[in-house]
Copies of this chain bind each other. A is one copy, B any other.
Amino acid sequence: MQVEVVAIGTELLLGQIVDTNSSWIGQELAAAGLNSHYQTKVGDNPDRIRAVLRQAIERSDAVICCGGLGPTQDDITRELIAELMGPDMSGVEMEMDETIAARIRDMFESRGRVMPENNLRQAMIPVGGSAIPQQPGTAPGLVCPVGTSGEKVIFAVPGVPYEMKEMVIGTVIPHLREMAGDTGVIKSRVLRTWGQSESGLSEMLAERIEQLDAAGNPTLAFLASGVEGLKVRITAKAEDEAAVEAMLDTEQAVLEPIIGHVIFGQDDENMEAVVIRLLTERGLTVAVAESLTGGYVAGRLCAVPGASKAFQGGVVAYQNEVKYKLLGVPEGPVISEPAAVAMAEGVAQAMGADIGLATTGVAGPDESEGKPVGTVCLAVSSADGAVATTVRLPGDRERIRQFSAITLLDLLRRLLLETA
């Protein structure tokens, strides 16, 4: 079962938009155990779209065609797909789908707007094709059987990411899995890690990856996610929901003794969400004093829905006088563990929080207080006392600031787990 992705749009070739749709579809296909050997980007040109679509459906079993479904003149994808349908790819006619037409009219009316007549072009679909039931926007997605007995299929989905995703999850992937005779349940679980490089994790898991590669199910994949850490995705296939969950549990139990010390969360739970959850479970509040990170730690904590249960606020003490006056840091050098501890204690007191956090260090471009760029002191203070650490982070100013923020949150997470 071979599936190709064709992304349509001159704006993609010009680099005005990065084609994240194809990457996302690639992830979903891989997670569903479907092979994908090619992804092509082509501009809004009928001849070239025609050539790319024909080649794709000839060498693969299915094509997901993304973009080019809007109401404008350029959007000729539907007609070009119709040309490839019918016996011996001899082409089929287009016909108005009245259900889609009514839905498009309704969408305009419900917003109190008059529908430009050319929007009805979107309701024209190839004879033999059908509309994808999910329709979050005005552009309908299409399922178009190709080949004499309809043994192949071209899907057309809009380029708007949230519309595309709803259709791919709701219709395209289930349809492809049915074509592949794949009736089991496939699920993934993501173990989120911080503190190890991809090559480090690969080395730690080398033996296990070899075993899994030999067996074929479940599978492991690494997804590098920058300041969000490195994701380890387990994907399993089984005959029902319970069996697939059991497989994921079993595999997780195998991995945890090997990499458990760097796993901080699961699936969509990022570092700040874990921290807010642990604080809330313990009934603790936190405040943060930031020098080089300048608000990044506070910003990430606030981004968690429900942050108000645990997050009091923060002080961005960029200038030293702010550290001295507002936070009570003793006057003198401020890139040190004692200064970080004083900042953490000062902000906890000022904000009436149980726990204080602090960052101080050298983001660059120049060194400071004789300390090299990348030197960062982090502190966590609480009623139990204070913990401080100094790290040397690589990279440029922005990377040093971002990595300082997540490293501090990870330090707090580890301390909260120890004092559970």
Contact = CB atoms under 8 A, between A and B. Distances in A.
B39 A13 contact: yes
A37 B296 CA distance: 41
Given A18-B18, A365-B305, A401-B302, A12 B26 contact: yes
Interface in A358-389: 364-365
Interface of A is mostly: mixed
A302 B221 CA distance: 36
User: Which 3 pairs, one residue from A and one from B, show the smallest C-beta to C-beta distance?
Assistant: A294-B302, A295-B295, A295-B298
Interface string A297-340: 11101110101100111111111011000100000000000000
Copies in the complex: 2
Interface residues of A, number: 68
B303 A316 contact: no
A302 B307 contact: no
A322 B316 contact: no
Contacts of A181: none
A293 B40 CA distance: 40
Interface of A: 12-20, 22-28, 30, 36-43, 45, 48, 52, 221-224, 288, 290, 292-299, 301-303, 305, 307-308, 311-319, 321-322, 326, 350-352, 364-365, 397-398, 401
Contacts of A314: 295, 315-316, 318
Contact of A319 (B41, B295, B313): B313
A181 B223 CA distance: 43
B326 A350 contact: yes
Contacts of A350: 326
Contact of A308 (B13, B317, B318, B351): B318
A337 to B, nearest CB: 21
A327 B380 CA distance: 25
Contact of A14 (B27, B48, B307, B364): B27
A45 to B, nearest CB: 7
Nearest to A315: B315
Given A294-B298, A317-B313, A401 B303 contact: yes
A32 to B, nearest CB: 12
A25 B30 contact: no
| Residue of A36, A37, A317 ringed by the most chain B CB atoms within 10 A | A37
Given A295-B316, A302-B318, A26 B38 contact: no
